Amino acid sequence: MRAMSTAQVTSVIKLPWVDKLKFAPLPFWIGAWPAASDRCAHGTSTHVLRVQLVQSKPWGLAMIQGSCLCGSVAFEATQLSGPIGHCHCTTCRKAHSAAFSTVARVSRAEFRWLRGEELLRSFESSPGKLRHFCGTCGTQLMAEWTEQSELILRLGALDTDPGVRPSAHIWLSDAAPWLAYGPDLPQFAGGRGSPRVNVDRPVEPDPH
């Protein structure tokens, strides 16, 4: 196998929409966003950010596609209907077995399954909220409140760049106590011992 340079390795493994790993420029919310009234102490400002969901232009600039780990289930969405956020709520952490889940809303009318819909399984994590995942490999793909017009897309399953970047951390009141982040954590192209990389990137401004 031909050896790859650090830049090549990074381009293979890096999700294109991930914000800078130091996280500091993103606002941190104690509860749900955008309805929350308080910022967490981890935030960089005491100013309360309220995200406007009335759009002047699409959040996603190109067709968004994603799939599960085994590849049996795939979906696409025309565009996102709201901002991208990192959700630290307990149910997201448990469902994904991760420190947080990166999510964004998409209109039901702009979302469709490309294959494998018959393989989907669901779990009602809260009354009226269904989390849908692949019944073969377990990948969380999207969630829905049955009475709402928008779906909650799980961006960890994306195969394409949605064209926008995360703009907030939400539900920091439920954040894992062991979570650590910042410029002091080393970054590697692969496993520990592989070439060091720097995937810091500026946080793009809110389109409104």
pLDDT in tens, 147-165: 899 999 999 999 999 989 9
Rg (CA), the chain: 17
Q: What is the mean pLDDT of the chain?
A: 76
- Kindly tell me the sign of the dihedral angle through the C-alpha atoms of 68, 70, 75, 77: positive
Region 115-121 average pLDDT: 97
As a whole number, mean pLDDT of residues 59-84 equals 88
Answer yes or no: is pLDDT of 188 > 60: yes
**Given pLDDT bands bounded at 50, 70 and 90, which one contains residue 39?**
very low
What single-letter amino acid sits at 126? S
Give the tokens for residue 197. Answer: 């990389």
Check residues 208 and 188 and name the one with the higher pLDDT: 188
Query: How many CB atoms are closer than 10 A to CB 83?
Result: 22
The 8-class DSSP code of residue 204 comes to P
Extents of the domains making up the chain: 57-175
Look at the chain and count its residues.
208
- Among 149, 147, 151, smallest CA distance to 104 is for 151
pLDDT at 200: 62
Give the confidence band of 32 by pLDDT, cuts at 50, 70, 90: low
Confidence (pLDDT) at 198: 77
Q: What percent of the chain has pLDDT over 90?
A: 53
Asked if the model's pLDDT at residue 59 lies above 50, the reply is no
Answer whether CATH 1.10.287.990 is correct for domain 57-175: no
pLDDT of 176 > 80? The answer is yes
Q: What is the mean pLDDT of residues 193-197?
A: 87
Please report how many Cα atoms fall inside a 13 Å half-sphere around the Cα of residue 143, on the Cβ side.
22
**Band (181; pLDDT cuts 50, 70, 90):** confident
Q: How far apart are CA 143 and CA 97, in angstroms?
A: 16
Looking at per-residue confidence, does 122 or 8 come out higher?
A: 122
